[in-house]
Chains A and B, each alone.
Chain A
Amino acid sequence: MNFWERIYLPAILKGMWITLKHFFRKKNTVNYPDVKRPFAPVWRGWHVLKRDDQGRERCTACGLCAVACPAEAITMTAAEREKGEEKLYREEKYAAVYEINMLRCIFCGLCEEACPKEAIFLTDRIVPSDYVRQSFVFGKDLLVEGTEPEKRIDVSKRQKHIQEKIWAAGGVTQ
């Protein structure tokens, strides 16, 4: 080492100059719960079980999603629709219990592709964290969308023809 390297000072000042430049640099941090970065329109997050226009559950408990699921995260129990329940369920058969284990789910979206009734969709909602494993088994209370118009969950961005328009216009939407 030569003299200037041995006394460290030029190197120290150089380093301090670099850190000082970073001090005034614009920060990249996103204040997550307050500010959210835009999601891709096809983001695969928390599933939703859709209702049709009249508020009836679309799912007929055929079990194709459970078969398609590579992580074996989906289980369901089918039941027959009784008289007087026509306003609740669209088909004669429905899922009395429908559970997705969010810790097993790999969010691949194969259930969405397998569904013949357009009942299950993945949405851009993130599954929240929790302390208890059991609470990650999401039942119908957390999966089926509400009947009121404001509780409906819009999955139109996931439809193929809309997606093509979005990508043509530049890709990401809020």
Chain B
Amino acid sequence: MSVLLLFGSAWLWEKSIMVLVLFVITLTVAAYATYGERKIAAFLQDRIGPNRAGPYGLFQPLADGVKMFTKEDFRPNAAERWLYILAPGAFMFVALMTSAVIPWGTQLTLFGANISLQVTDLNIGILYILGFTSLGVYGIMIGGWSSNNKYSLYGAIRASSQMISYELAMGLAVIAIVMLTGTLSLKEMAEQQAGLNWNIWYQPLGFLIFITCALAECNRAPFDLAECETELIGGYHTEYSSMKLGFYLFAEYINMFIACAVIATVYFGGYNFPGIDPGSLGGLMGPIVMFSKTFFFIFVFMWIRWTLPRFRYDQLMHLGWKSLIPLAILNMLLTGGGVLLFGK
């Protein structure tokens, strides 16, 4: 009976449509992030990048998708069969789940109804994101281990120790933000940063720590040791082909998209911009501002990737444990002192 009631409720329909739309947008952004990555890489290297498929190469992601789907789906004989199949799916699932708590705008007015532009306003939003990004390591670890290949295993071990190390500093940077804002909900954080009252002005050090850790969490250069081609062939996805490999690559771009959205929300005011009312245009202005910020950070991520060389593994660990974590603790102390003295 209660199930029937649930199906009749507008709430369920609203949320379902919201989830679907967000799912499609996330996949589209991830697909075009691959195109953007190649274009930006090319431009930074004085090349022009893909320009054959469609105008300015805009159909390149489609061509890549078709290629991925039609490749031979290879599975090593000695692989742990079910785990090998499960791992890319798990990685993709975790990557997609994190987008649920990000507030893309205030609310949308459609057909006289007010639709919240956030799938769910969890009161522990930022913890939920940290939790799910930690789960992401399972997709990599299971995939690398079940392939039964030493390079895969090396990549997986590197990825997991790297992610665990950098999660600590990331968590400490987030604690400083939580002390400052007094909330764990991303929605409330965004609301507090109206106008130009962004957290970056109070937390510049925290932001630096967070973005460094976000790069490491997304396994992106200069911290892409999990899949460094020069040493490990392909790292944890060496033995993967076809759309299983596609899932891994795609999920990485989704991770990057979400990481950038989180940075924009937590440090750069989310959907707020001075002089722009996020509720205007029927609520569309909020998502526009939010997506602009997110895309800017995606650009910064790519910009960093095509500028910096990869860290050596011991340098990575030194940076994580000996620099970022002490810095994050210092940042926490400073924030605590600041909150104590000035209130906020």
Chain B residue nearest to A9 in the complex (CB): B208
B307 contacts chain A at the CB level, 8 A cutoff: yes
State which residues 157-187 of B face A: CB under 8 Å. Answer: none
Residues of A within 8 A of B303 (CB): 16, 19-20
Tell me whether B308 and A27 are in contact (CB under 8 A).
no
Instruction: Determine if A27 and B46 form an interchain contact, defined as CB atoms under 8 angstroms apart.
Output: yes
Whether A16 lies near B307 (C-beta < 8 A) is yes
Interface digits, B295-319 against A, CB 8 Å rule (1 contact, 0 not)? 0000000011011100000000000
Roughly how many angstroms separate A23 CA and B47 CA in the complex, as a whole number?
Answer: 9
- Bound together, the chains give a CA A27 to CA B303 distance in angstroms of 18
* A20, B303: Cα distance in complex, Å: 8
Q: Are A29 and B308 in contact (CB under 8 A)?
A: no
B51 within 8 A of A: yes
A174 at the interface (CB under 8 A from B): no
Is A15 an interface residue, CB under 8 A from the partner? yes
Q: Decide: A12 and B308 in contact? CB cutoff 8 A.
A: yes
Q: Which chain B residues border A18 with CB–CB below 8 Å?
A: 307
A36 to chain B, nearest CB (A): 17
Tell which of A7, A19, A25, A27 touches B306, judged by Cβ atoms closer than 8 Å: A19
A22 interfacial contact with B, CB 8 Å: yes
Q: Mark A36-55, 1 if CB is under 8 A from B, else 0.
A: 00000000000000000000
User: Do B306 and A28 touch across chains, with their CB atoms under 8 A apart?
Assistant: no
Q: State the CA gap A18–B307 with chains docked (Å).
A: 9
**In the complex, which of the residues B47, B51, B304 contacts A16, with contact meaning CB atoms closer than 8 Å?**
B304
Whether A31 sits at the interface, judged by CB under 8 Å, is: yes
**B residues in contact with A28, CB < 8 Å:** 46
Q: Tell me whether B304 and A22 are in contact (CB under 8 A).
A: no
B48 touches A15 (CB 8 A): no
Q: Mark B233-275, 1 if CB is under 8 A from A, else 0.
A: 0000000000000000000000000000000000000000000
CB < 8 Å: which of B44, B51, B208 contacts A19? B44
Q: A12-B308, A15-B308, A16-B303 are in contact. Are A23 and B51 (CB under 8 A)?
A: no
Chain B, residue nearest A8 (CB): B319
Decide: A29 near B45, CB < 8 A? Known: A16-B303, A20-B303.
Answer: no
Chain A: interface residue total (CB-CB under 8 A): 15
**What separation, in Å, do the CA atoms of A19 and B308 have in the docked complex?**
10
Q: Is B43 an interface position by the 8 A CB rule?
A: yes
What B residues does A29 contact at CB under 8 A?
47-48
Given A16-B303, A31-B51, is A22 in contact with B308 using a C-beta cutoff of 8 Å? Answer: no
Q: By the criterion CB–CB under 8 Å, are B45 and A22 in contact?
A: yes
Neighbouring A residues of B51 by C-beta, 8 Å:
31
A70 to chain B, nearest CB (A): 38
Contacts of A16 in B (CB 8 A): 303-304, 307
The answer on a CB contact under 8 Å between A15 and B307 is: yes
In the assembled complex, which residues on chain B have CB atoms less than 8 Å from the CB atom of A31?
A: 51
Q: Kindly list chain B residues whose C-beta atoms are within 8 Å of the C-beta of A20.
A: 44, 303
Q: Are A27 and B47 in contact (CB under 8 A)?
A: yes
Most chain B CB atoms below 10 A, which of A20, A22, A25, A31: A22
Closest Cβ of chain B to A78, distance in Å, is: 47
Contact B43 A22 (CB under 8 A): yes
CA distance A16 to B45 in the complex (A): 12
Given contacts A16-B303, A31-B51, A23 and B308 within 8 Å (CB-CB) = no
Q: In the bound complex, what is the Cα–Cα distance between A9 and B51 (angstroms)?
A: 35
Contact of A22 among B44, B48, B323 (CB under 8 A): B44
Which B residues lie within 8 Å of A23 (CB)?
Answer: 40, 43-44
Residues of chain A lying within 8 A (CB to CB) of residue B45 = 22
Q: List 13 A-B contacts (CB under 8 A).
A: A12-B304, A12-B307, A12-B308, A15-B307, A15-B308, A16-B303, A19-B306, A19-B307, A20-B44, A22-B45, A22-B46, A27-B43, A31-B51
Nearest 8 CB-CB pairs, A to B?
A19-B307, A19-B44, A29-B48, A15-B307, A23-B43, A27-B48, A16-B307, A23-B44
Interface residues, chain B, with chain A CB atoms under 8 Å away? 40, 43-48, 51, 208, 303-304, 306-308, 323
